[in-house]
Chain A
């Protein structure tokens, strides 16, 4: 299974208020809020740390959850946010997050079947 990499979208606004990330997308002015776990993944979405490692460090180390289930949930979560332009998801490290919708689309290439996969 390929690794999944996540980076923050470039055309959005956001602020962490009371440990929750509030995000506004510039494209459609939709306001979203991430819960504590979602905010932890957002914070760690540097484009180069594999999602599996983020889940290991930010979720499994902090919460009593099954590792495979946590990764599956995280995969679905990041794909969902990628659909709204909040995160960029790729099977390659995202060294320089691109700007513009065109680039954002080209990087949202995570294969859907991998979302249900098990960690290596």
Chain B
């Protein structure tokens, strides 16, 4: 991250500036991905005028980084009108799309409008695997065609490869495909529960030994020794840190105007259809509650050796029942990465042992070689591996 970006982030944090907003313009989609957390019916999306008004309010509030996503953004007939308005307001726009509906005309408009990047989910280089996940025959072929049109115009494309049991053996093929297309490549090993809390899809995700192997692949994580290093000794500074940007410098707005701290943190905090964005951002009781939380306030995680390096997502914790509690999926990631069990895992094992179900195994010494922090490669709030901002 550049020093100016760090300065901007810190300034936003200090002044309560909403630097980044993720806006889903629709939940409708032409694909029906088996692991998707959304309900694709239209329950009354914001109109074009409503979205344009919200965008103007966001610009006035100081928002610079805007992610437009869905659903599939191009399911909205007015998408380019929305995008044009967003760019006229000088947002730095990133788009998440499956690229299925991107033809020459769409690619030209995206180039003309100066969109920073498009993120496209590709699950496999093999049509039979990718199309089985999207449940849309021909979707891999069309998505690749869309990506080619974008790349031929010099538009930046990032291929996001969600890893799950169905496609675990294909990430190397997707990476090669990304290279061939001139696209960046990221992996995402997290399957998130549905927005309504239904966790039935979480089991599709990889765990245990599979996750451990992914984290030890230098082609995916870079320096394995650094990436998988045991957590460093926890300092007081770490305990004073905020968990992530959700609600602090970033938030999420649904197609129905609902405002949440993050797309992965469905804590209802207001609705831009009935309130001004800035009023919600400044005065929402829920956002104030989220902002009050420091690592030392987390009853379990503050006692965990991973607290300074864990990717703990407060939204996933919230969906488990307590936004101050652990996020079990992130505990598993920390364990798979370092081999060091988390405080949450110890507590759960102890509870099971107390009931006579299991015997607790001895813990590895987590402080013996604790000298290196987790490197810059991390998993962001949507679980996407990133190497920079």
A15 in contact with B5 (CB, 8 Å): no
Q: How far is the CB of B345 from chain A (nearest CB, A)?
A: 39
Residue of A at shortest CB range from B63? A15
B116 in contact with A26 (CB, 8 Å): yes
Q: Is B353 an interface residue, CB under 8 A from the partner?
A: no
Q: How far is the CB of A116 from chain B (nearest CB, A)?
A: 29
Q: Is B17 an interface residue, CB under 8 A from the partner?
A: yes
Residue of A at shortest CB range from B12? A17
Which residues does chain B contribute within 8 Å of A33, judged by CB atoms? Answer: 4
Checking A13, A31, A99 against B112 with a beta-carbon cut-off of 8 angstroms, the contacting residue is A99
Q: Is B74 an interface residue, CB under 8 A from the partner?
A: no
Which residues does chain B contribute within 8 Å of A15, judged by CB atoms? Answer: 59, 62-64, 90
For window 1-38 of chain A, which residues contact chain B by CB distance below 8 Å?
A: 10-15, 17-18, 22, 24, 26, 29, 31-33
Checking A13, A17, A22 against B116 with a beta-carbon cut-off of 8 angstroms, the contacting residue is A13
> CA of A24 to CA of B116 in the docked complex: distance in angstroms?
9
Q: Is A100 an interface residue, CB under 8 A from the partner?
A: yes
A31 in contact with B116 (CB, 8 Å): no
Chain A count of residues within 8 A CB distance of the other chain: 18
B114 in contact with A11 (CB, 8 Å): yes
For window 59-109 of chain B, which residues contact chain A by CB distance below 8 Å?
A: 59, 62-65, 90-93
Residue of B at shortest CB range from A26? B114
> CA of A13 to CA of B59 in the docked complex: distance in angstroms?
11
Which residues does chain B contribute within 8 Å of A22, judged by CB atoms? Answer: 8, 64
A24 in contact with B114 (CB, 8 Å): no
A32 in contact with B4 (CB, 8 Å): yes
Residue of B at shortest CB range from A17? B62
Contact count band on B = 20 to 34
B116 in contact with A29 (CB, 8 Å): yes
Residue of A at shortest CB range from B17? A17
Residue of B at shortest CB range from A33? B4
> CA of A32 to CA of B7 in the docked complex: distance in angstroms?
11
B91 in contact with A17 (CB, 8 Å): no
Interface centre among A10, A18, A22, A100 (most CB of B within 10 A): A22
Which residues does chain A contribute within 8 Å of B59, judged by CB atoms? Answer: 15
A31-B4 contact in complex given A13-B92, A14-B90, C-beta closer than 8 Å? yes
> CA of A10 to CA of B111 in the docked complex: distance in angstroms?
11
A17 in contact with B4 (CB, 8 Å): no
A31-B114 contact in complex given A17-B17, A24-B64, C-beta closer than 8 Å? no
Q: How far is the CB of B112 from chain A (nearest CB, A)?
A: 5
Which residues does chain B contribute within 8 Å of A10, judged by CB atoms? Answer: 114
Residue of A at shortest CB range from B66? A13
Checking A18, A24, A26, A99 against B115 with a beta-carbon cut-off of 8 angstroms, the contacting residue is A26
Q: Is B11 an interface residue, CB under 8 A from the partner?
A: yes
Which residues does chain A contribute within 8 Å of B274, judged by CB atoms? Answer: none
Checking B11, B64, B115 against A14 with a beta-carbon cut-off of 8 angstroms, the contacting residue is B64
B64 in contact with A100 (CB, 8 Å): no
Which residues does chain A contribute within 8 Å of B112, judged by CB atoms? Answer: 99-100
Q: How far is the CB of B250 from chain A (nearest CB, A)?
A: 14
For window 31-66 of chain A, which residues contact chain B by CB distance below 8 Å?
A: 31-33
B64 in contact with A13 (CB, 8 Å): yes
Which residues does chain B contribute within 8 Å of A32, judged by CB atoms? Answer: 4
> CA of A12 to CA of B113 in the docked complex: distance in angstroms?
9
Q: Mark B residues whose CB is within 8 Å of A.
A: 2, 4-5, 8, 11, 15, 17, 59, 62-65, 90-93, 111-116, 154
Task: Given A12-B90, A17-B8, A17-B17, output 6 extra A-B contacts at Cβ < 8 Å.
Answer: A13-B93, A14-B64, A15-B64, A18-B11, A22-B64, A32-B4
A-B contacts, 25 of them at CB < 8 A, read A10-B114, A13-B64, A13-B65, A13-B91, A13-B114, A13-B116, A14-B90, A15-B64, A15-B90, A17-B11, A17-B62, A18-B15, A22-B64, A24-B64, A24-B92, A24-B116, A26-B92, A29-B116, A31-B2, A31-B8, A32-B4, A99-B112, A99-B114, A100-B112, A101-B154
